[in-house]
Chain A
Amino acid sequence: MVAYFTEIYNGLVSLLVGMGITFKEFFKPTVTVAYPYETLTMCARYRGHIELVPDDEGNPRCVVCGLCEKACPSNCISLGGEKPEGGKKKVLTSYVLDFTRCSLCGSCVEACTFGAIDFSKEYNLASRRKEDFIFDLYKRLEERRP
């Protein structure tokens, strides 16, 4: 008989404890992010698709050595460069990344000895067309130029 009432009492108390917890949670602020309306900043080590790094004047640091092209296991990268008349160095004219085949392994970033490419923080990538994922990184850099 005592056990019967103890069980009822303990059960009731544990129910009230549970209700107390949800009551407290009710008044705490929400922890979710309303995604399309607000976005989080990506962490420093996030790997988006690669992006060309500009120098101080906004030109690409790339010297068109082609190491990244060779390092890529999936042949995603194709470089184009030319020597301008009177110039000594090659200058980048196109840098095409086929993101449909890229697995974000980072071999290209590792291979680059000039620090000319880096991971971007881009994650809002959605499209119905395959062609939208073939990026011309040189053009993107030109667009970002101030």
Chain B
Amino acid sequence: MRLTLINVIVAVVIAIAFAAVNAAYLVWAERRGAARIQRRPGPNINGPFGLLQPPLDGIKLMAKQLTIPGGADRILFIIAPILAMFPAITSFVTIPFSETIVAKNMNVGVLMIFAFASLGSMSLLIAGFSSRNKYSMMSSVRAVSQAVAYEIPMLITAITVVMIAGSPDLMEIVRQQSPSILHWNIFPLLGNSHNILMPLAFLIFFVCTLAETNRAPFDLGEAESELVAGFHTEYGSMGFGLFFMAEYANIVIGSCMTTILFLGGWSCPFGLFPGVWWFILKLYLLIATFIWIRWTFPRTTIYGLLNLSWKILIPLSLANLLLTAGLIKVF
């Protein structure tokens, strides 16, 4: 497909629409899910099942005034929420939802998505730094140390998958997993590697996705009980709205990547009717797990968080990388 300007604009508009709709309705799903787990009904007043709640919340946020605290760095303060949303939307452009539904497939898709994902923590740093607020500052320091700690095992497991597929092209990675569930990277009995430790790699990747998106139990960046609201303490109006949307867009990106790298993308477990619906099903199952985890576990401490990464995830993912390399060489 030749990439014209029109193609790019259409792709970006669709990406923004997809991200925004997902962000809005994942907030609804999250609130309903949390309520069910805590045995209350959740938002159910506005519209059927409270489905009008997200647009009404959006309207409320847009109607608010964006205040910039005195002494804050005005330029960085305004750039930070935009920088939070930008990588999330850009990443959607290269994610293949099916054989045909992809805005622009790149032969280095994995690399591009992780490059943009690491930009996300940059926005947290800028937001916390420019707010001139001790809580925001603390939060951004935490967010950065967390991002550094969790990007390493995440990239190592991603490299394992890239090694198995022999290509960093997302389409190619999915194609190699296509034949059946036994070719999926989470449980690869057939296929390239025969590595029985891959479920572990999947777990590591999933935990890292939780940490990268600053979700509970790793939401130290915005620990309400300690840091008011962390890096977005000083943000109101759509500044806050953008951070909020970026969080959910990042969840979608993380779940898309988990689906593509480990769960066979758009392929069907039994080779039946491969297509975008399988991708969507896997994607939303993962997102539901995200929500489920958030309302099950309490927040970890910063030490627990860093210990988990440096003492457990990194050694295990390195061991898995070595084992996979050996197995690929043998078979």
Contacts and interface: CB of A to CB of B under 8 A. Distances in A.
Interface stretch (A30-38, A48-56, A104-112, A124-132): A30-38
B39 A25 contact: yes
A123 interface: no
Contact of B297 (A18, A29, A34): A18
8 nearest CB pairs, A to B: A22-B296, A32-B40, A26-B36, A22-B37, A31-B39, A18-B296, A30-B39, A30-B41
Interface of B: 33, 35-41, 44, 292-293, 295-297, 312
24 contacts: A8-B312, A19-B292, A19-B293, A19-B296, A21-B296, A22-B295, A23-B292, A25-B36, A25-B37, A25-B39, A26-B33, A26-B36, A26-B37, A26-B292, A28-B39, A30-B35, A30-B36, A30-B40, A30-B41, A31-B40, A32-B39, A32-B41, A34-B41, A34-B44
A15 interface: yes
Interface string A55-66: 000000000000
A8 B41 CA distance: 36
Contacts of A8: 312
A64 B37 CA distance: 56
A22 B39 contact: no
Nearest to B42: A30
Given A25-B37, A30-B41, A15 B297 contact: yes
Contacts of A26: 33, 36-37, 292
Contacts of B293: 19
Contacts of B40: 30-32
A128 B39 CA distance: 34
